[in-house]
Amino acid sequence: MSRIVTDEHNVQLLYEDNHLIVVNKRVGDIVQGDKTNDKSLLEILKSYIKYKHNKPGSVFLGVIHRLDRPTSGVIIFAKTSKALKRMNLLFQEKRIHKIYWAIVKNKPIKSRDTLIHWLKKNSKTNTSKAYKKEINNSKKAVLHYRILKEFQTYLHMEINLETGRSHQIRCQLSYIGSPVKGDLKYGFHRSNKNGGIHLHAKSIEFKHPISKKLIKIESNPPEDVLWNKCFKKNA
């Protein structure tokens, strides 16, 4: 399936109020500008807000967290500096609950488990490496996974992310021998046609930084044969 490029007119809006905007990030969207100079989701959403609400002048929008370019799913941006500051605090204090879906190859030994590793990032290759024990400049990474479904070749996995390290899920699943489908960087044998990987930020739950109401936002993964199987009862 060919990749849909996000622009101001096809944003997948999941939630919006005066302080936050939440969208379903597509595969290939880059959250914030980098050396590629590709238009970022941040800039696209600024244009979207300006157009939708007919705002004069520049639009404030703050990046709260990130998703890797080849992944998809729920991502939150702050529309006010107050919301940005408070959401950053929620992330720092681990008061935000995130669930991911992944389609992986090779069944791990346990159908559910907690993975604890120490990850060290290599900035030159833009990859992370997992270690069993702490080493210099490594950061502790913790996730919980469970297998939801088994297909003929692949597995549908749910991941509860406790820490938010660079490429954490991709790196840790690769370490236990279950790389994410399409993830060449972490041991999968071939790429996906759309350049993405089968890793999706399925839901996020938190207390609203201003109203204090409990907010839970979910998104569906991209349309494709494997993701669609995840929703079928007898797949």
DSSP assignments along 39-105, one per residue: PPHHHHHHHHHHHHTT--S----EE-----TT-EEEEEEESSHHHHHHHHHHHHTT--EEEEEEEEE
CATH architecture, domain defined by 13-229: 2-Layer Sandwich (3.30)
Tens-place pLDDT, residues 137-150: 999 999 999 999 99
Tokens of 52: 């939708």
| DSSP β-ladder status, 97-105 and 112-122 | unpaired
Instruction: Say if residue 2's pLDDT is above 70.
Output: no
Instruction: Say if residue 211's pLDDT is above 80.
Output: yes
> CA dist 48 to 38, 43, 45, 79, Å?
17, 9, 5, 12
| DSSP β-ladder status, 154-161 and 97-105 | antiparallel
Tens-place pLDDT, residues 56-114: 889 999 999 999 999 999 999 999 999 999 999 999 999 999 999 999 999 999 999 99
Query: Which one-letter amino acid corresponds to residue 143?
Result: L
Report which of 200, 201, 197, 203 is spatially closest to residue 218, judged by C-alpha positions: 203
Q: Give the CA diameter of the chain.
A: 57
- pTM reported for the whole predicted model: 0.94
Contact 141, 168 (CB under 8 A): yes
3-class SS of residue 193: coil
Tens-place pLDDT, residues 12-66: 999 999 999 999 999 999 998 777 788 999 999 999 999 998 888 899 999 999 9
Which pLDDT value is given to residue 234? 55
State the residue for tokens 């929703």. Answer: 231
Instruction: Enumerate the domain spans of the chain.
Output: 13-229
